[in-house]
């Protein structure tokens, strides 16, 4: 997605060979117009798949997921990383290990808002090692719902997440695919 | 805002005289169409105030804030409740006590994305005791930016947050004002 790649080149900061910081438009400050374009792009790529729900994870997945939900006309559920006091329903839970933060956390969604009739699109901001996406997929499986695919804003293609998801049979649509971050330079996968 | 009040009456769950759960459309599952209506309503109420930035707090403030940002044509910054590894800039920090969760947390925004020229609209999902809004206001003051007002999706008008903000001179625009949750019933402030 050209507009996203340009934004990454102009405002992304390469912190290391592994870490791309996009706090200027996605992970801390959010560019709502770009989010709308991203929502439209996800909707276009998945439009004929009968999606009934989008599932994402707090906090940075919410903006792109809600814009996709608006375009597709479906509700969005964001998995919580911590159980809040007002989320007392029976929960589906999964463990997710973050390589970036080197911590394991529990993610959860309520069993009230998803069921076996749902066809779910998983959306997340980044795909690196695939652990967050696999955690979300695990939650959706617990609900016996179908998974239509995984929509990713920025994929780090040099990390194993994409292949892990493809090997398990999931469709992966990443709007920007970063081939490398070496020498402080962002290069994209040529498709 | 009529559509929001109807949604609260139809899908909100009164957990106690103090707690209204809106996990069906705002705090866990999100209704993107309603969020768009909310964004348009905030934009209409604050349209002539020269807003340059919206500041909210993760996670439930993000959806309404991004929709308002889209309408107003300005970026959205979401304060983080935890410092992440990739947010290494100098940070403005403030302490917020949650009466609901009975914990104090630190919220923070990067000093890169806000400055003394900014005119900021604060948006949050709930206004109860006002502690989250005051924490966000504190962050914005640290940047020497102006605060145009506070936009709230659901105000619990029987709690002190609104009066606290008004006493300090802030404009408060709440799209639904809950007068009472007694006897399991939601009643709204008649304006």
Q: Do B86 and A35 touch (CB under 8 A)?
A: no
Of A33, A73, A76, the CB nearest to B29: A76
DSSP code of residue A178: E
Q: Do B32 and A101 touch (CB under 8 A)?
A: no
CATH no. of A30-153+160-177: 3.40.50.2020
Concatenated DSSP letters for B121-170? EEEEEEESSSHHHHHHHHHHHHTT-EEEEEEEEEEETTSTHHHHHHHTT-
Residue B105 binned pLDDT confidence (cut-offs 50, 70, 90):
confident
Distance CA A140, CA A69 (A): 17
Straight-line distance from the first to the last Cα atom of chain B, in angstroms, rounded to the nearest whole number: 11
Query: Quick one: tokens of A107?
Result: 């993610």
H or E element, residue B13:
strand B13-14
Q: Report which of B182, B180, B68 is spatially closest to residue B125, judged by C-alpha positions.
A: B68
Interface check for B82 against chain A (CB to CB < 8 A): the answer is no
How many Å apart are CA B191 and CA B177, to the nearest integer?
Answer: 9
Q: Enumerate the β-bridge partners of residue B21.
A: B13
pLDDT at B85: 43
**Rounded Cα–Cα distance for residues A180 and A182 (Å):** 6
Residue A23, C-beta contacts closer than 8 angstroms, at least 6 positions apart = A13, A29, B86, B87, B89, B110, B112, B113
- Which of these CATH numbers, 3.20.20.70, 3.40.50.2020, 3.40.640.10, 3.30.420.40, describes B2-188? 3.40.50.2020
Report the C-alpha gap between A96 and A103 in whole angstroms.
8
CA distances from B68 to A7, A54, A185, B42, B153 (A): 21, 21, 34, 6, 11
Chain A contact for B35 (CB, 8 A cutoff): yes
Q: Which of A59, A73, A92, A109 to mutate to test the interface with B (most CBs of B within 10 A)?
A: A59
- Angle, vertex CA B113, rays to CA B57 and CA A67, nearest 5: 55
Statement: residue B119 has pLDDT above 70: yes
Taking only the tens place, the pLDDT of each residue in B40-99 is 999 999 999 999 999 999 999 999 999 999 999 999 999 998 655 455 568 999 989 888
Query: Are A70 and B101 in contact (CB < 8 Å)?
Result: no
pLDDT of residue A101: 76
Task: Name the maximum alpha-carbon separation found in chain A.
Answer: 48
A69 touches chain B (CB under 8 A): yes
Nearest Cβ partner for B66 among A32, A58, A87: A32
Once rounded to an integer, what is the mean pLDDT over residues B161-173? 98
Considering only CB atoms, which chain A residues are within 8 Å of B113?
23-24, 28-29
Is A22 within 8 Å of A12 (Cβ atoms)? yes
> Which portions of chain A are predicted below pLDDT 70?
82-89
- My answer on whether omega of the bond before B59 falls inside 30° of 0, hence cis, is yes
State residue B191's pLDDT score.
Answer: 78
When pLDDT is averaged across residues B167-183 and rounded to a whole number, the result is 98
Buried b (16+ CB within 10 A) or exposed e, A8-28: beeebebeeeeebbbbbbbbb
Q: In this complex, which of A31, A67, A87 lies closest to B75 when CB atoms are compared?
A: A31
CA atoms within 13 A on the CB side of A94: 20
pLDDT per residue as tens digits for the range A132-177: 999 999 999 999 999 999 999 999 999 999 999 999 999 999 999 9
């Amino acid at each position: 997605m050209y507009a996203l790649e340009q934004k990454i080149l102009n405002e992304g900061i390469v912190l290391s060979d592994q870490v791309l910081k996009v706090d200027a438009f996605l992970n801390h400050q959010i560019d709502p117009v770009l989010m709308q374009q991203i929502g439209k792009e996800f909707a276009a790529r998945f439009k004929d798949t009968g999606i009934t729900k989008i599932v994402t994870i707090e906090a940075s997945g919410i903006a792109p997921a809600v814009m996709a939900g608006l375009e597709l006309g479906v509700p969005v559920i964001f998995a919580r990383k911590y159980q809040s006091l007002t989320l007392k329903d029976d929960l589906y839970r999964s463990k997710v290990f973050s390589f970036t933060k080197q911590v394991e956390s529990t993610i959860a969604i309520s069993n009230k808002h998803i069921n076996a009739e749902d066809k779910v699109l998983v959306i997340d901001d980044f795909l690196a090692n695939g652990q967050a996406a696999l955690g979300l997929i695990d939650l959706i499986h617990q609900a016996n719902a179908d998974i239509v695919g995984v929509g990713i804003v920025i994929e780090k293609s040099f990390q194993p997440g994409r292949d892990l998801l493809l090997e398990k049979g999931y469709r992966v649509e990443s709007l920007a695919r970063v081939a490398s971050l070496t020498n402080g330079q962002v290069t994209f996968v040529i498709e």
